[in-house]
Chain A
Amino acid sequence: MNIPLTALGIGLIILGISILLTPAHPVPPHTVRALLEGSTLNIEALLEELNITNKGYYVRGADGRIYVFIPIDRDSGPPIGEFEFKGLVTKVNDKRYLTIIPPSSEIVNIQELSEAEFNDALSYVLVDISELAESVETYTVGYHIVVRVKKPRGYVASWRFRNVLGSLEASIAASLLAKRYGLSKVVDEMDMEGERIITLEVFSYG
């Protein structure tokens, strides 16, 4: 009789430690989603004011932060080369880019994502942390990475933000890719019944 009781005691100790390890007041996912969506509105206003329509390039800076470089004039390719983030406009190889810090710039730096595969990291941010989607699936087609987001729940539809930086889900995916490979872009997005297909491109960096 002693062994089963001892085992039960050990089990209860495991349960107790598990409860202690559980955060008491975790930030609810819908709050994270609201914060992310709210931050898109500022960028939307800025893009609207400057009448920017070119698609942005997601770039990993020397400080590890993700920036979005949006060609101000015509789109003459990704910003390949050294740059220093000093203000709204950055010059890289004599090309001028509007530089924006995307809403997902910091969230992709969290420790849990440091060693995760792209699919797992994206799923963690979109499904677990922010509940922006029900599930996520990624695969490679040629030089492009395709992300299938099932039941996207982003409700704030900023038209210009979506055209320039992609939807919030696409922006997070592009930021994760930029974090990993240095430079990425949202190529295309397509909304289908209950899912969003996002096509991303990764550029060789340096």
Chain B
Amino acid sequence: MDKNVLFNIVLGFMIVSTAVILSSLGEVRLDVYISMYTLEYFTAKAVLRPRRRFFDILGLVLLIMFLLIVCFRVWEILRT
């Protein structure tokens, strides 16, 4: 199977699984979901190395969001 197609199938499966598992565990923090999506995206990308039409802007956006979430969590810990 073409690895580009496989990447999207794997990513879709991971995202839906994450949403189902975390919601069944009663998770209500949106940043946890986004962090997991980011980790899954980069893991699948590192393993399958899909081609991109141009610069991977999605990866950049997810990375920035992940960094903001981490910074916010660190700031919360330092504040208390």
Contacts and interface: CB of A to CB of B under 8 A. Distances in A.
A8 interface: yes
A21 B41 contact: no
Contacts, number: 74
A3 B33 CA distance: 9
Given A26-B4, A26-B51, A21 B57 contact: yes
A77 B10 CA distance: 52
Given A11-B37, A15-B12, A15-B15, A23 B53 contact: yes
Contacts of A10: 30, 33-34, 37
- Interface footprint category on A: 10 to 19
A22 B54 CA distance: 9
Contacts of A4: 19, 22-23, 27-28, 33
Contact of A8 (B19, B41, B57): B19
A22 to B, nearest CB: 5
B62 interface: yes
Contacts of A12: 15
Interface in A17-38: 17-23, 26
B18 A11 contact: yes
Contacts of B76: none
A45 interface: no
A4 B34 CA distance: 11
B16 A22 contact: no
Contacts of B41: 14, 18
Interface of A: 3-4, 6-8, 10-12, 14-15, 17-23, 26, 128
Interface of B: 2, 4-5, 7-8, 11-12, 15-16, 18-19, 22-23, 27-30, 33-34, 37, 41, 49-54, 56-58, 62
